[in-house]
Structure formats: C-alpha cells, structure tokens
Structure 1
C-alpha cells in the first residue's frame, strides 16, 4: 500500500466524528512536566490537531514521529505559542505546565513568557544577526537582566552546557554566522537554555546537519535530558529510538499511539503504528 492510498483510506476514518481521536494515554510512572489535555488546533478553518492527550515526562525525551503533514510540528509549536504570531489560528483544550498547573495556551497567558518557559530550536540553525555573545544574551535581556557580569556568567555557563564554550570562548564578539552549521545549532540550543526554560522543544534539529554534527547534537541531548523535559520532532525513527524514553506516533492530526520507546518500536498496539514503523507508509 503506497502512502497516498493509505492516506485516502485513513482520511474517512480520521474525519468520522464517531471515531475517537486517540484514547487517553496510560499514566506513566515518571513525574510529569506537562500534560496535554484534549488539545485541538485550527489554522483558520482547517483543523490540524484533533483532541490530543499526551503526558510529557520530566527529565526525559519524548519523541513525536509520523509522516510529513501528520501534525508533529504543529503540536510542538503549541507548547510555546508560536501559532499566535499568525492571525486566525486558535487552540481548544489545554497544555498544563506542572507543577504550576498553568494552562499555557490560555488566552490570558502572555505568549512571550510562555516562550521563555518553553524554548524552541528549529530545523535549520537560525542565529540572530548578532555576535555569538549577544545571541545567547538576548533571552536574558528579555527577562529583564541587565547586570553585565550576571549575563556574562550565564552566557559562559550555557555555552559550556551546549558543549560550545571551548570552540568560541576567544571569539564571542564575532558574528554567529561565522560558525559552522553544527556550531550554529549548538549556539541556538545555548540561546534556548539561557533564560532557564522548563521545556526544550526541538523541531528536527539535526535534519540539516551532516552525520558528525548530528552525533554531537545527539550527545548534547543525552546530557540535557538529565536536567530538562525535552520534546523532539524527528523523521528519523533510528534517532527517536536512540535518544527518547517515550514516543508518540501521529497521523492526520491524531495521536494514534503513545508509549515507551521499547513498546512503540518493538510491540506497538495499533496497526497504523506498526505499518509506519515497518515502512508500509510514510
């Protein structure tokens, strides 16, 4: 069955209101950092996400997998309110940040503050047209920090955390564009870490990188997961299997199956998950 035939056969199922849009995932044993509850999302009149329920564990990596157009990146961008930048988009349901028990997609919550709590790293490195130092310091200034010594200390701290300090410590005043692609992506990770986020969101962070740079980013993710809740979108099932503790398979805007890495990749419960994992579509 090719992907187009599969999509057509599944479209009726996904569009049928009598079909549940994904059962509530079983409770996980790990402490939760966030809990997605009945989340739906619309691009104007188009419903891109349908009643998503998804627990996000603290200090673990949760991978979002699925074919192109399934809603992975749309869901990821809900966590830091990126969709608010465009008119006509709207949310229904909740993304509850814990332990504050705060619904971060509530209209009364400032999206700027949400973005400081849930930092995003994109598919292609996107450093600001500023120096290496100012790229990292920018989030601190948004938080209202003005003390130069405090900023300098935090910049060094997160550049070390991003495994970049030794490579750039003697050229912090140089343009970020002078760095290689892999270095730029680690700089963007450092920039994300600087405001002390509670969630790190990674949207295919290695898809534009060569294998050596990819390996360095994956090593970095393995270190960061000891301190942060991480949600990553990836098209690479091998990458998801290497670095994630939990995995969520999405299709046509629905969460089809959620479980541990081992369950999803070795004994999925849903036929659609098994078909994707085994390459029947996607």
Structure 2
C-alpha cells in the first residue's frame, strides 16, 4: 500500500480543500480518481507528474472549464475557505467561479482587443461599469503582473502586438483584475524563452504574497524553485503531497522517487 498523503501542517491556513474528487469524461473514462489535497492560502502549490497523468485536467476542473462540454461529470467536493462553499456544487455559478478562480493557460491567449479591454473583461462580467473603477483596477492588475511600465503608454493598442512573454503577463493581469481568491497556472512558461520564463517565475513568487497560486508544470526544476508544496500525480491519482523540499529530497513513494530521478516521465 502507498504511504498516506501528508496533510498540511496545522499552522498553514487553507484557501481550499479538494475532497475525494473524481472526474469522468462523457465516454466514461475516469481521468481523476478520488483526489484529496489541501490548497494553502497565499502559497504556491505545484502539481507535477508524467504526461497524461491528469494534472491539467484537475487544474481545469477547479475552474469549471469542463462544464463547457456536455456529458462530463464529477464526484466529490472542492471547498473554498473560509466560506465553506463547494465550487463544484450544483448551486455554484460556473461564471462566478471562473472570476473567483482565475486561469492562465499554457499558450498566451489574449483576446482580440486592446490591452486595456483584455484586463477589463472580467470586471465587466462582474457588472462593473464605472470608468474610474475600471481604470484603477486595470492599472493595479498590470502593475501586479509586472507589465505596467511596458504597456502604460499603449493601453489602446492591440494585445497581439506584445511579445509572447508580455502576452502571458497580460493574461496573468487579466486573471488578477477581478481579484480572485486563487490563480491557476497551467504550464504558463512552456511556450516562453528562458528570459521570459524567469520573469514569470519571479512574478509568481511575488504574487504568492497576496494570492493563492496552483501551478501545473512539466519542469521539475521550476517546481522546486517557486513552489511551497508539491503534489505528484500518476494515472489520475494523487500519489504524494508535501513540502516541496521533502518531495524532491526525500520522496516517500517509489513512483515519486522514480519520476524525480528521471527513471520515467
């Protein structure tokens, strides 16, 4: 039997709890199998594992992305703390969930709009229409995403005119603008060069001071550099969860050790 999943220390505040969570595609395939893990408040949690292990599927479920496709279903709960709200419950509005749980994808995906309107999009969905409020929120989000100085003089310009690294930071700003409780990052640097990757990693560490972050990454060195806790997934199951230093230096499960040491993956 595998060793039990380690829980967060009692002193760690929780932002969310994933409880016995499973996900099934419309064809009946079970992609996520009874995953339970804590998401710590204002910490970076990395999810690692070989390709096809379910890490990106789990991340997107937290944002209710799979609701867009008929026939998909899930079991279990994702509880947002301290409210105790089940984000995947029938009463939870998926649109509001996506504003509270921001999402940034592997490839930068700015809207075909101006830089300003990209960041303002979530605010308008929230029903905010006062120009001054939107202006202040857009500026704040761009500053938090460390791109304000690069775009402040061209806010009305197309987001497509930005470099790949700038577009990704713009997408992070777009996710931050509605002031989410959690920001999900799905391999956010895999399409970027080393310089742009370093900027995003620095940004993630700075943002974790004010927002909870969950990042899926195929880059184990990146997980070791920027995360506080790491979850290792294999074939849809959560094999091991713990402090990042423990996972990389003293893994408790043979599968985790084999993956960390490069024996497979």
The TM tier, using the shorter chain, reads over 0.9
Preserved contact between residue 123 and residue 208 of structure 1 (Cα < 8 Å): yes
Instruction: Supply the distance in 2 between the matched residues of 1:36 and 1:161 (Cα, whole angstroms).
Output: 28
1:212-251 alignment runs, 5 A limit: 212-251=195-234
Unaligned runs of 5+ in 2: none
Preserved contact between residue 258 and residue 264 of structure 2 (Cα < 8 Å): yes
1:202-221 CA distance string (max 9 Å, x none): 00000000000000000100
How many pairs are equivalent? 263
Give the C-alpha shift of residue 78 in structure 1: 1.1
Q: Partner residue of 1:43?
A: 25
Instruction: Supply the distance in 2 between the matched residues of 1:265 and 1:169 (Cα, whole angstroms).
Output: 41
Q: Partner residue of 1:118?
A: 101
Q: Partner residue of 1:72?
A: 55
Instruction: Supply the distance in 2 between the matched residues of 1:34 and 1:119 (Cα, whole angstroms).
Output: 14
Q: Partner residue of 1:9?
A: none
Give the C-alpha shift of residue 136 in structure 1: 0.3
Instruction: Supply the distance in 1 between the matched residues of 2:220 and 2:18 (Cα, whole angstroms).
Output: 23
1:76-95 CA distance string (max 9 Å, x none): 01111001000111110000
- Which of the two has higher C-alpha Rg? 1
Give the C-alpha shift of residue 26 in structure 1: 2.2
Instruction: Supply the distance in 2 between the matched residues of 1:253 and 1:99 (Cα, whole angstroms).
Output: 28
1:61 equivalent to 2:44? Answer yes
1:33 equivalent to 2:22? Answer no
Q: Partner residue of 1:272?
A: 255
* TM-score between both structures, scaled by the size of structure 1: 0.92
Computed over aligned residues only, the root mean square deviation of the Cα atoms, in angstroms, reads: 1.1
Q: Partner residue of 2:146?
A: 163
1:63 partner SS = strand
1:86 equivalent to 2:35? Answer no
